[in-house]
Amino acid sequence: MQLPRGKVLREALPLEKTDMPKLFYELELKRFNGYLAAMVRGKDNFEEGIVIFVDGRVVSASYEYLTFEKEFFGIAAIKRFANLCRSESGVYDIIQLPKELCSLILRLNPESEIKYSHDKLRDDAKGMFDYSLEQEARVAKTVSKEDVLKKLKITDIIDKR
């Protein structure tokens, strides 16, 4: 899912040092408009999850296994995002957007729309990271490290070899 940059409130903060269920509660209380994007390294790939908030409510989710080029939306994505929040090796950003822009993103990506309670998200984000979800996304296609770096727009690493 392509998203505008917006106002960066938090950038590249470690998941393991953040109480994610508490963070979701704070975003709800503040009636936050924008998105939370997080990335982790799974067993054999990189994973990126995005949750969009409107007035503090979770309204949209997408999740991508970058190495496998497999993307999930809606409930399947939020399930994986909650799992990502349990990781001890990831980072996250919080980006604030105008409410109207969040609503536009939702209209442009209807497959990602969800109705998911904050209580459920907070409960699902507790526990240990589950690598079995990665296995579900695995496909026969092998993608090189260079392909992943290009997708992440980190091509200067490739050029220096």
Summarize pLDDT for 5-33 with one digit per residue, the tens: 899 999 999 999 999 989 999 999 999 99
Query: Which of 64, 61, 44 has its CA nearest to residue 53?
Result: 61
**Order of strands, edge to edge, in the sheet holding 57-65?**
7-14, 90-96, 34-41, 46-54, 57-65, 70-73
2 located within any domain: no
| CB proximity list for 90: less than 8 A, separation 6 or greater | 14, 15, 16, 38, 39, 40, 41, 84
49 located within any domain: yes
57 located within any domain: yes
134 located within any domain: no
Q: What DSSP letter does each residue of 43-88 carry, written as one string?
A: SSSEEEEEEEEETTEEEEEEEEETTTTEEEETHHHHHHHHHHTT-S
Per-residue model confidence (pLDDT) at position 156? 62
Residue 15 structural domain: 7-129+139-159
Per-residue model confidence (pLDDT) at position 136? 78
Per-residue model confidence (pLDDT) at position 140? 35
- Does residue 3 contact residue 81 with C-beta atoms inside 8 Å? no
pTM: 0.81
Cα distances (Å, whole numbers) of residue 110 to 11, 47, 160: 27, 21, 40
Q: How many domains does the chain have?
A: 1
102 located within any domain: yes
- The stretches in the chain having pLDDT less than 70 are 139-145, 147-148, 151, 153, 155-161
Per-residue model confidence (pLDDT) at position 141? 46
